[in-house]
A and B are shown apart, each in its own frame.
Chain A
């Protein structure tokens, strides 16, 4: 019986392939794939006219715009500061460096609701930071700016953690060569050191974006949740669900998923080109 080797997998003397793959596929189907399929099915069952009405309603568009633009903005901020942070952690020695290195992962470990109420407390007009900004008439909490603050928090570790290993493995000889050939430090950094880091930076950007676009827990406390102004798309899904508008919730959710998959795919394509250009980093 076992003399016939199935064509779709390479032969191996290790046992347990059937069992392991069986468990994986069963769990994956039951917990992830079938439920997601139910989401698309529910959205499709609404019918073209209703789908169009939900998708183009001003409130949906405003929520999607805030979630996507907010996530892009937060990921961009994280790309800049994450790159600086990774640079500082890899290249400089300063007191508390190891502690700070460990602390960067805090947003992975801290439950989002905890982060949400803490950020709301700090950036509220009577909070530690909000109070400093209040005299200049800058409001952070309960405005779209508050949404950005939460999304920056939640995406903070991604860029640092993707860029850090690449910076660590950058060979010292290329920058020495650049310096010996007379390039200024500025030029060495921007034309020799940073280009190979670019693909990792983009990976970090995409991960931070993907996390931020669907983020809920840390945002709703600081956002104020005013429809059309500071209401994020995941909150709109929750609101539709609470009104027992299952199809409406499913349509907004499907739109969100399709949009973010399309964006992630696009960036991955751009990144694949960058990878070809700068080699496999």
Chain B
């Protein structure tokens, strides 16, 4: 790293990369483009990330510990883990079912179904929460009925879980569908012809084949489930110690001018993001072929 020159000599590069550079840009242009990229990333990516940890440690270790071990913060951490523990497995089941139907069979309306599954990606998180308030809120379509039967969905755990499932709906299916499609069905057909039961075929042939793209989808789904803010903010009611998730707790602390505490809780979420990124990158390096197949779409 101390050698400041850009190592652009062809012999330093892997062959494929070197081959591209027979007609490359001048060193000055290369330097400038790298510098522009780094400056852009620093302003919008690295500085925010560093800020989280700097601000979190601004008041020292003791304050950091207190902010995280305070009862409301612990309740928020517990709720966030609980919501993810419910929403992610449900999304795994739905994602596998959707991928099986879409990747292994040809039927009419398939592309429409695929775009419906992707729909939550283009809906604002706030609207993802709003729809459940309109259905289950006090003035919602089922509000009176729910009240009569003493069931609470909005401003309670079920609403938070529903909104979380909504925003993370496409993640698992999106990773699985292209991978399953690229694998084809020959192996499953062989297993079935040899007499394996449908479940055995699925568990011992299909699942092992797609396990890494499944893990990849689950990883992204989990990160979003734990970090979701907008949708959950609308349905949770933000009752401290009860319906406050970690991101909502960050907001409350921040709005109460408890910056250091807000950043302390935020640093846990940033840590989760870094772990997610690290695992994701490892997966991409080690299972490049399997994942490249799904990335191409």
Contacts and interface: CB of A to CB of B under 8 A. Distances in A.
Interface in B93-152: 93-94, 97-98, 100-102, 104-109, 113, 116-117, 119-127, 130-135, 137, 139-141
B55 interface: yes
Contact of A81 (B22, B36, B139): B36
B107 to A, nearest CB: 4
Interface in A16-34: 16-17, 19-25, 27-28, 31-34
Interface in A28-80: 28, 31-36, 38-39, 41-42
A109 B17 contact: no
A23 B19 CA distance: 50
Interface in B255-275: 259, 262-263, 266, 269-270, 272-274
A149 B44 contact: yes
Contact of A114 (B97, B106, B120, B266): B266
Interface in A64-104: 81, 84-85, 87-89, 91-96, 100, 102-104
Given A114-B227, A250-B134, A215 B124 contact: yes
A14 B44 contact: no
A17 B13 CA distance: 49
Most buried by B among A16, A21, A112, A178: A16
Given A94-B6, A110-B49, A175-B23, A24 B97 contact: yes
A10 B106 CA distance: 6
B185 interface: yes
A213 B124 contact: yes
A256 B45 CA distance: 28
Contacts of B25: 185, 189
A204 B141 CA distance: 38
Interface in A217-271: 217, 221, 233-235, 237-238, 241, 244, 246, 249-250, 253, 256-257, 260-261, 264
Contacts of B48: 110, 115, 118-119, 122, 153
B133 A241 contact: yes
B229 A179 contact: no
B30 A92 contact: yes
Contact of B126 (A16, A91, A95, A234): A234
Contacts of A95: 1
Contact of B130 (A13, A39, A189, A261): A39
B23 A111 contact: no
A138 interface: no
B144 to A, nearest CB: 14
Interface residues of A, number: 99
A113 B6 CA distance: 37
Interface residues of B, number: 112
Contact of B34 (A8, A23, A88, A115): A88
A274 interface: no
B80 to A, nearest CB: 10
Contacts, number: 315
B273 A246 contact: no
Query: Main SS of the interface on chain B?
Result: helix
Contacts of A87: 33
Contact of B229 (A17, A111, A188): A111
A35 B131 contact: yes
Given A24-B97, A234-B125, A39 B131 contact: yes
A12 B185 contact: yes
Contact of B122 (A31, A216, A264): A264
Contacts of A144: none
B105 A81 contact: no
B177 to A, nearest CB: 11
Contacts of B169: 27-28, 31-32
B189 interface: yes
Interface string B36-69: 1110110111111101100100000000000000
A188 B17 CA distance: 18
Most buried by B among A35, A41, A178: A35
A197 interface: no
A14 to B, nearest CB: 5
Given A14-B105, A84-B36, A102 B131 contact: no
Interface of B: 1, 6-8, 12-13, 17, 19-26, 30, 33-34, 36-38, 40-41, 43-49, 51-52, 55, 90, 93-94, 97-98, 100-102, 104-109, 113, 116-117, 119-127, 130-135, 137, 139-141, 162, 165-166, 169, 185, 188-189, 192-193, 198, 201-202, 220, 223, 226-230, 233-234, 246-248, 250-251, 254, 259, 262-263, 266, 269-270, 272-274, 276-278, 280-281, 295-296
Per CB-CB distance, the 7 closest pairs between chain A and chain B, nearest first, are: A214-B124, A111-B227, A217-B229, A9-B107, A35-B131, A216-B230, A23-B97
17 contacts: A20-B97, A31-B162, A34-B135, A42-B134, A84-B37, A91-B17, A94-B6, A102-B278, A105-B280, A113-B227, A117-B254, A189-B25, A214-B124, A216-B126, A244-B139, A246-B133, A253-B130
